[in-house]
Each structure stands twice: as C-alpha cells, then as structure tokens.
C-alpha cells in the first residue's frame, strides 16, 4: 500500500470508528491490531484503545500550558474521532475559525498516519526478526520494502529523535531518556530523508541497548561534513554486549535510501556513524516508460539529496519540465508514441526548457547522436550507479563524493 493510499485508508477508518460492521473487514484493522486481537470479541474496544494510544503520543510534554497550540493535534483528534464532535463544535471548543479547524485537523491526521506507519512497520520488523535474525529474516524485510515509495523531504533531526523515543516508549514500555545525551545535536538541524524509514533505523539502533543494564549511556552528536551532508554519531558505552542483530536491520532502512552508515566496536564502546543529506541540492526529471527504472534512479540519487520527479508519458514530459524546472533531465530513447530523440529536440527548442541539461539513458549506444541533438551526456543501460554518478559529476550536476 503506497503512502497516499495508506493516508486515505486511515482517514476513512477514523471516520467510521463508531461503525464496527464497516470496520470489521477494513484493510486497515491489520495495521492497528495483531491477528489474534482482531479475532477477539472485544476487537472494536481494542481498536479504539489503539487509536487513543496513538493520539496520546501527540500530546505535548508535561507542563505545557493547556491553552498552548501544541495541544491542538491530540485535542482535535480526540474530539473528532473518539467523541464524535462535528466540526462546528470543535471550532467552539477550541476557539478556532473554520479555516483553522480544517488546517489543524489535516495536520493532526498527517501526524496520526505517520505514527501508525511507524508502529506497524516496527511490529512487522519485530515479528520477522525475532531475537536473532538470520539471512532469511533480513531478506523478508528487504522484500517488504521493495514496493516502498521512498519520499525524501526535510525533517528536523531533533524532533525525529524525540518521536523515536516516544515510539520506543509505546512499543517497549520503557524510557530511554535517562540514558541519552544529545546536546550536541542542534535543535535547528534539518535533514533530507524518508522520515519513516529513517525513524525505523534509529529505533532499531536504540533497540540495541538492554535498557535494564546499569552503566549504559548513549551520546549523540552531529558534525557538518560539507554543504550537503552531516554526520550523526551515536556513541554507546556499555558493560554488556549489544544486540548487534538490531544493527543489521537498521542498516536495511538506511541503505535502501543510499545513506552511508558504519558501526565500529572496541571493547565496551560502540560508535555508529550515519551520513545524512541536509537539503535538496537539485531536482531531476526522469522520463522513462519503465517504472522500475525510475525507482532505481531515485534510489541512486537519494544520497545526494536530489529530488527526483518521474513520468512515463513522453508526450506530457515537456509540460512537466516547464512546470517543475528541474536542474537536469534523464531521458530514455525507446518510448511509445514519442521517442527520446524527438523529445530532446522539442525540449531544446522551447525557451523554458532549452537551458535544462539532458542526459540520455538508453540501451542504444549512440553517444555521438546524443551530442548532436544537444544532450549534455550519455549513460548506457542497464544503468550502473557508479557510471551514472561519475557522469553527473563530470558535467558538474552533482558534487564530488563525500569527503
């Protein structure tokens, strides 16, 4: 289920929380309840409790004034979906305008969806991994993520860590806050990642620590590598061995995003390094009628913070290029209705797209023809990551490798 479908399914389920007959066969029940729970006679009460639990995770820290805006997400979800208030009553209860109410409700549902995805993916990883995941367990997780729609966007790193801690408390009923020191992670630091995958990776890293063991501490710090990347270091001091199998799972969540990661162990000291992109450095439009190729390129360019747009319709590609104004275009040649040679001529002839560098990606070996029609470079299929990156570096469309 892709992100948009999942979002709509969650919203639909929330709107029918008071209708057990409707929800009984709803595809989303499996996301909130285990198979055993869904077969119990009180499953609807368990579902309401799970929804309430997720809403509680949106409550602000203890001591936050009741009138503060930080309370709006949890309050508006409780009023709307647990108590069944109409929107006009919510407006009166919270003192909001109609426009504010709609905006705050959408923001709250977005947060609810994110936490729901986190918890579901965490449970699936735990079910598949067990105590010591073998190769088949890791392959199951990789298979689960093959259809994942990776979405890169800017997120605050400190806030993400806080949400991971909340997730740990929810899933494990434990509190890691006393073990963690992260003053060296600036509160203003934003990273360009897939939020859910990155949070799952951090969650599994924190899961390496036995929370019942004394004399354990975790220190997080960040270091700017260059204008494109920062290094997040997680230093763990421990007396007993860590659950290294959790690291193997965490690596999956980072590697699928092309995020560099490393673990170094020495005696009772373990340091984990994660190199995270800071922001969108550029954008790319991939014009290719094969969806798997578009997804492959998105993953290849992800570690460079590049926002990748894609289309399988060469006839609509020029209008899309005019609209988004990408920094460069990767163009296939063999496409139905309009081949790449004609499309690049059209792009180069139009005043709003003529300046955009076009890199031909094709099984055809025609570098001279590519140059003749105005292509900046040529990459032969099947696309190799090293070849693609080196080509883009040679024409200065992406920075050199991380220092």
Check residues 195 and 2 and name the one with the higher pLDDT: 195
| Pairwise CA distance, residues 199 & 117, whole Å | 11
Range of the domain at 210: 145-277
Do 272 and 305 share a domain, yes or no? no
Instruction: Let me know if residue 328 belongs to a domain.
Output: yes
Instruction: Let me know if residue 81 belongs to a domain.
Output: yes
Mark which of 98, 116, 134 sits at the end of a domain: 116
Per-residue pLDDT at 287: 94
Instruction: Let me know if residue 121 belongs to a domain.
Output: no
**pLDDT band for position 129 (50/70/90)?**
very low
Across 85-99, 134-148, 278-292, the highest mean pLDDT is recorded for: 85-99
Residues whose CB falls within 8 Å of the CB of residue 41, separated by 6 or more in sequence, listed in order: none
Per-residue pLDDT at 132: 40
Do 260 and 337 share a domain, yes or no? no
Per-residue pLDDT at 175: 66
Do 273 and 286 share a domain, yes or no? no
Residues whose CB falls within 8 Å of the CB of residue 23, separated by 6 or more in sequence, listed in order: 13, 16, 17, 29, 44, 47
pLDDT tens, position by position, 51-65: 888 888 788 766 778
Q: In this structure, what CATH number is given to the domain that contains residue 231? A: 3.30.565.10
Do 237 and 269 share a domain, yes or no? yes
- Range from 71-80, 82-91, 156-165, 203-212 carrying the lowest mean pLDDT: 203-212
Whether residue 296 contacts residue 288, with contact meaning beta carbons closer than 8 Å, is answered with: no
CA distances from 357 to 217, 320, 330 (A): 50, 15, 9
Do 190 and 67 share a domain, yes or no? no
pLDDT tens, position by position, 318-337: 999 998 889 999 999 999 88
Phi, psi of 236 (to 5 degrees): -115, 120
| Pairwise CA distance, residues 336 & 92, whole Å | 56
Mark which of 277, 311, 337 sits at the end of a domain: 277
Per-residue pLDDT at 259: 86
Instruction: Let me know if residue 256 belongs to a domain.
Output: yes
Instruction: Let me know if residue 182 belongs to a domain.
Output: yes
Considering its fold, how many domains does the chain have in total?
A: 3
If you average pLDDT over residues 118-123, what whole number do you get? 64
Per-residue pLDDT at 11: 82
Neighbours of 171 (CB within 10 A): 15
pLDDT tens, position by position, 177-236: 778 888 899 988 889 888 888 998 998 898 888 766 667 889 999 998 877 789 999 999
Output DSSP code: residue 80.
I
Instruction: Let me know if residue 137 belongs to a domain.
Output: no
Dihedral (Cα; 311, 312, 317, 320), 10-degree rounding:
-30
Do 305 and 367 share a domain, yes or no? yes
Give the mean pLDDT of the chain: 83
DSSP output for 126-164 = HHHH-SS--HHHHHHHHHHHHT-----EEEEHHHHHHHH
If you average pLDDT over residues 371-396, what whole number do you get? 90
If you average pLDDT over residues 150-177, what whole number do you get? 78
Instruction: Let me know if residue 125 belongs to a domain.
Output: no
Q: What percent of the chain has pLDDT over 70?
A: 87
Mark which of 69, 96, 116 sits at the end of a domain: 116
Residues whose CB falls within 8 Å of the CB of residue 99, separated by 6 or more in sequence, listed in order: none
Whether residue 51 contacts residue 17, with contact meaning beta carbons closer than 8 Å, is answered with: yes
**H-helix or E-strand containing 290?**
none
Do 162 and 263 share a domain, yes or no? yes
If you average pLDDT over residues 162-168, what whole number do you get? 83
**pLDDT band for position 134 (50/70/90)?**
very low
Instruction: Let me know if residue 130 belongs to a domain.
Output: no
Do 112 and 55 share a domain, yes or no? yes
**pLDDT band for position 131 (50/70/90)?**
very low
Residue 170 has pLDDT above 80, yes or no: no
Do 149 and 252 share a domain, yes or no? yes
Residue 130 has pLDDT above 60, yes or no: no
Q: In this structure, what CATH number is given to the domain that contains residue 295? A: 3.40.50.2300
Do 47 and 15 share a domain, yes or no? yes
CA angle 312, 316, 318 (to 5 degrees): 110
Per-residue pLDDT at 402: 45
Residues whose CB falls within 8 Å of the CB of residue 70, separated by 6 or more in sequence, listed in order: 60, 64
Per-residue pLDDT at 333: 92
Per-residue pLDDT at 344: 94
What are the beta bridge partners of residue 388? none
Do 20 and 103 share a domain, yes or no? yes
Q: What percent of the chain has pLDDT over 90?
A: 23
pLDDT tens, position by position, 338-369: 889 999 999 999 999 999 999 999 988 888 89
Do 155 and 268 share a domain, yes or no? yes
Across 104-118, 293-307, 351-365, the highest mean pLDDT is recorded for: 351-365
Helix then strand then coil, % of the chain, to nearest 5: 50, 15, 35
Cis bond before residue 256 (omega within 30° of 0): no
**pLDDT band for position 122 (50/70/90)?**
low
Residue 2 has pLDDT above 60, yes or no: no
Dihedral (Cα; 102, 108, 112, 118), 10-degree rounding:
130
| Pairwise CA distance, residues 125 & 242, whole Å | 18
Model's pTM, two decimal places? 0.51
Per-residue pLDDT at 270: 92
């Amino acid at each position: 289920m892709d992100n948009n479908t999942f979002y709509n399914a969650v919203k639909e389920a929330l709107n029918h929380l008071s209708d057990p007959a409707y929800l009984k066969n709803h595809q989303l029940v499996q996301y909130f309840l285990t198979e055993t729970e869904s077969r119990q006679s009180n499953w609807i009460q368990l579902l309401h409790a799970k929804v309430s639990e997720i809403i509680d995770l949106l409550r602000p820290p203890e001591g936050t004034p009741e009138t503060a805006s930080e309370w709006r997400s949890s309050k508006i979800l409780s009023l709307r979906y647990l108590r069944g208030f109409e929107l006009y009553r919510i407006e009166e209860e919270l003192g909001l305008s109609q426009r504010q109410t709609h905006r705050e409700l959408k923001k709250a549902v977005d947060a609810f969806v994110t936490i729901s995805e986190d918890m579901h993916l965490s449970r699936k990883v735990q079910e598949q991994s067990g105590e010591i995941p073998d190769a088949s367990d890791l392959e199951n997780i990789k298979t689960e993520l093959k259809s994942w729609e990776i979405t890169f966007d800017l997120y605050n790193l400190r806030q993400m860590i806080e949400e991971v801690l909340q997730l740990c408390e929810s899933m494990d009923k434990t509190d890691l806050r006393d073990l963690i020191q992260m003053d060296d992670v600036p509160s203003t630091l934003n990273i360009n990642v897939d939020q859910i995958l990155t949070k799952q990776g951090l969650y599994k890293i924190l899961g390496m620590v036995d929370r019942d063991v004394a004399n354990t501490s975790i220190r997080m710090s960040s270091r700017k590598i260059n204008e494109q990347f920062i290094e997040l270091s997680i230093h763990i001091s421990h007396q007993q061995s860590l659950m290294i199998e959790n690291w193997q799972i965490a690596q999956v969540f980072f590697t699928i995003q092309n995020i560099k990661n490393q673990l170094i162990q020495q005696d009772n000291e373990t340091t984990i390094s994660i190199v995270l992109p800071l922001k969108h450095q550029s954008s790319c439009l991939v014009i290719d009628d094969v969806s798997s190729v578009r997804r492959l390129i998105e993953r290849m360019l992800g570690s460079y913070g590049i926002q990748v747009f894609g289309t399988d319709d060469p006839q609509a590609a020029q209008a899309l290029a005019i609209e988004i104004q990408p920094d460069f275009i990767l163009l296939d040649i063999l496409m139905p209705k309009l081949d790449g040679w004609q499309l690049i001529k059209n792009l180069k002839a139009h005043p709003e797209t003529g300046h955009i560098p076009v890199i031909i990606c094709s099984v055809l070996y025609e570098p001279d023809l590519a140059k003749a029609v105005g292509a900046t470079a040529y990459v032969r299929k099947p696309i190799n990551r090293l070849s693609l990156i080196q080509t883009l570096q040679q024409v200065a469309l992406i920075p050199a490798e991380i220092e």
